[in-house]
Each structure stands twice: as structure tokens, then as C-alpha cells.
Amino acid sequence: MIPLSDSASFGNYTHLEHKIGKIAERIKNQGEKRRLVAEAFRKSKEGIELPCDDKDKSMCEPKIIYSVEEKNLKNLIISGVDGGVLSKPLHGLDLILYRAVAAVFHYKDGILEKATYYPSEIPSPQLINVHEPLDSRELEVLTSLKRQLNELKVARETVSSWEVDALVLDGSVVPQYTYRPSGGKIRDVYVNLIDSFKRLYRTCSEEGVLLMGAIEDSRSTRIGKIFQKEVSGQIENSGELTGKEISSFNKNRGVLLSSRDTAFLDYFLKPGERTFTFRYAEEPAISFKDLSDWRNKIYSFYIKPVPYDRPTKVEFVETSGNLQDTTEKVATLMNSLSTSHEACALPSVLIEADARASLAKEDISILRDSIADRLEPSTMLDLRRERRPF
């Protein structure tokens, strides 16, 4: 660790101090550009109309901002599913430890009456030992696949066990992979994952369950590209900006293409607002193509429930035939579930599921030690980098 707090040694790292200053200055400059561009869009919002009737476009609503109501959660059963996972590469094998928990909140007359859990409050984790030679990237993918498979299994069984009105996944309602595994164990698990997503879609559709996903830290740039391509050109004709404001907007609009959506929307949205809904079908995930017709039923928007946290990306599966009605239901639920803390814009039911599913790093180390205790003393399990003598 670089001893930045040690004044005697800090002089040796003045190049880092200079670099840190540059980074901080860039963050401030980019933030100011985003603020100016966001203010221009907000001021012009009444004069902007999105081409939502164009089937070749991804936007599904004409306005760029929508207000979202916060309603009492009357007589609803809402479940949130999250998982915990750990992996440990060893000499000759890899260990994967995982579990998933569904927190089920039962509301009555707008009050949380009780919370139940599936399969239990704190279920025993499952352990997989992988003897196949996998590189670090393959191990990372396999670990993620196993976690998602378990979460989807728990989600389906939860829907079958309770009369759930809405199911919230931690993360996307679509598998997030930019390449398709070509063979071996990972390919088989991948195929199983795609089938599991489809089965969850069908189960929720048949049971009338609203299926949603809350992405905690989205890295998407989709909204910025839509604003740059479809909205920026309408600014000058909105009639709401002065010549100076238009000039400032044109000078800074390029920041949209170098910003993650949440970074820009943090300036654009106010608490209790969401963006327009857009189709997910243009997203780049390769696995999305494997979802067949379901990919045309998946939509998304961003919502800002609280003042001191970034907007949250919300995804949902629409099977009722009434997209506007489903969008309003999803937005109201997400807003109502995510306002318990003014600095955390996540549904409370997911926060509870995460607390029950999380695993401590010590858990997998204990298992490793238990395996080692059953072997000869000379048997080496740890990788060389973890057993250096100095």
C-alpha cells in the first residue's frame, strides 16, 4: 500500500498527487457539463416528443420525464430474490460456494404484516468442486452461471409456493453475457440458464405475477445515446431556451456519449420521477438472442425514488398486452418499495434478501481447511501466490 498519509514518504509519490488532482478536476468538469445538458432538457421537456409510434425506434412513450406516484402497498405479496456466491481457485481444482434466498413481504392495509423466506431464513450454501481446467475468465463465468441458476430456481419455487403479486430479481431479467460458451461444462450450464429464464417467464405469465429486475449499478449508456440521437435535435425548436442556453447545450451535449446513464440521469431526474420506457431488444447481450420471442416482451426505464442516490435501472417482462398499464404498475411498486432510506434507491425486499443470502469470505476458507485436514500434510492446495514465504 502506498503510504499517502506518511508526509515523509509522500514526496516520493508527487506524480500520483498530480494525477489524482487531474482526475478530480475531470470529474468536476464532466459533472458540470452533465448538469447543464440535463437542465436544458428539463427546461425544454414540454416541447419534446419522442417518436414512440415508430416501430424501428426503441422508445415506447412520447414524453422524456414521467412523475411516479408512491402508493400504500395494500394487500400485496411481494418477493425479492438475491444470491450470494464465492469461488476459490486451488491447485488442481476450484471451489464454488453459493446460495439464494427469497424474501417474501406480506402487506396488509399498506403495512408490512410479516416477512417469510424461501427456502429458509438462512439456508445452507451449496458447494461445487470443479476439476476441469478452467482459466480465470471461465471460472468467473461458471461461478456467475451457477449463482443465477440457483436464484432462478428459488424464484420459480417461490412463485409456486405463495400467491405472489410481484417478483423482484436482483439484477437483470435477462442473462448478461457478451459471448456464448462454445462447449464443455460451461456450455451445458449456459443452455440450462437460458431455459431457466424462459421457464420463469412462463411461470410468472401463467400465474399473473409481475416480473421485475432492479439493476444496482448499471453501466449502460443506452439512454445517453437515445437523448443524443432522438432528443438533442429538438432542443432549438422547443422555444424554451435562450440563445446563450442553446449555445451552451450544443457545446456540452457530447458528454452524453461519454457518460453512463446513471451519471447523466442523476442530474436529469428528480425524486419521484422516471424516464420513458424503452424496448430492451437492442441491448448487446449475445444471450438475449437465445430467448426467442420473449425478447420482444422485455422493457426498461430508469427511476429516481430518493434524493441522495443515483437512479435505478428497472427491467420488466410485459405479457398482459397493456404496456402502459404494466409500466405504471412497475414504476409505482419500485418507487414505493425503494423509499425507505433517502440514500439507497433499492427495493427493501431485495435489501432483505441480500442480507439473508450473502456469504462471508471466511466461509469458503473454512471449507478449504476442512478438505486439507483430510489429506496428507504434504498435499498442497493453495496457489503459489497465496503461500509465498515473504
What residues does 375 pair with on adjacent strands? none
Number of compact structural domains in the chain: 1
Task: Determine, yes or no, domain membership for 1.
Answer: no
pTM here is 0.90
pLDDT, tens digit, 9 for 90 and up, residues 225-235: 999 999 999 99
Contacts of 101 (CB under 8 A, 6+ apart): 81, 82, 83, 117, 118, 119, 120, 121, 122, 123, 154, 353, 356, 357
The DSSP bridge pattern shows strands 166-170 and 210-215 to be parallel
Q: Is the residue at 233 inside a domain?
A: no
Calpha distance 390→382 (Å, rounded): 15
Q: Each residue of 20-30: pLDDT tens digit?
A: 889 999 999 99
Split at pLDDT 50, 70, 90, the class of 8 is: very low
Q: What is the pLDDT of residues 100-151, one digit of tens each?
A: 999 999 999 889 999 999 999 999 999 988 877 777 788 888 889 999 999 9
Q: Is residue 252 part of a domain?
A: no
368 lies in which domain range? 66-222+260-373
The string of pLDDT tens digits covering residues 31-90 is 999 999 999 999 999 999 999 988 888 999 999 999 998 788 889 999 999 999 998 877
Is 234 domain-assigned?
no
The model's confidence at residue 379, banded by pLDDT at 50, 70 and 90, is low
Per-residue confidence band for 365, with pLDDT thresholds at 50, 70 and 90: confident
| Assigned domain for 100 exists | yes
Are residues 105 and 112 in contact, defined by beta-carbon separation less than 8 angstroms? yes
The whole-chain average pLDDT of the chain stands at 88
* pLDDT at 166 > cutoff 90: yes
Q: Which residues contact 103 (CB under 8 A, 6 or more apart)?
A: 79, 80, 81, 115, 117, 349, 350, 352, 353, 356
- Virtual torsion, Cα 138, 139, 144, 146, nearest 10 deg: 110
Asked if the structure places residue 15 within a domain, the reply is no
Task: Map the chain to HEC letters.
Answer: CCCCCCHHHHHHHHHHHHHHHHHHHHHHHHHHHHHHHHHHHHHCHHHCCCCCCCCCCCECCCCCEEECCCCCCCCCEEEEEEEEEEEEEECCEEEEEEEEEEEEEEEECCEEEEEEEECCCCCCCEEEEECCCCCHHHHHHHHHHHHHHHHHHHHHHHHHHCCCCEEEEECCCCCCCCCCCCCHHHHHHHHHHHHHHHHHHHHHHHHCCEEEEEECCCCCCHHHHHHHHHHHHHCHHHCCCCHHHHHHHHHHHHHHHHCCHHHHHHHHCCCCEEECCEECCCCCCHHHHHHHHHHHHEEEEEEECCCCCCCEEEEEECCCCCHHHHHHHHHHHHHHHCCCECCECCCHHHHHHHHHHCCCHHHHHHHHHHHHHCCCCCCCCCCHHHCCCC
* CATH number, position 89: 3.30.2170
| pLDDT more than 90, % of the chain | 61
Classify residue 247: in a domain, yes or no.
no
Can you give the pLDDT at residue 55? 82
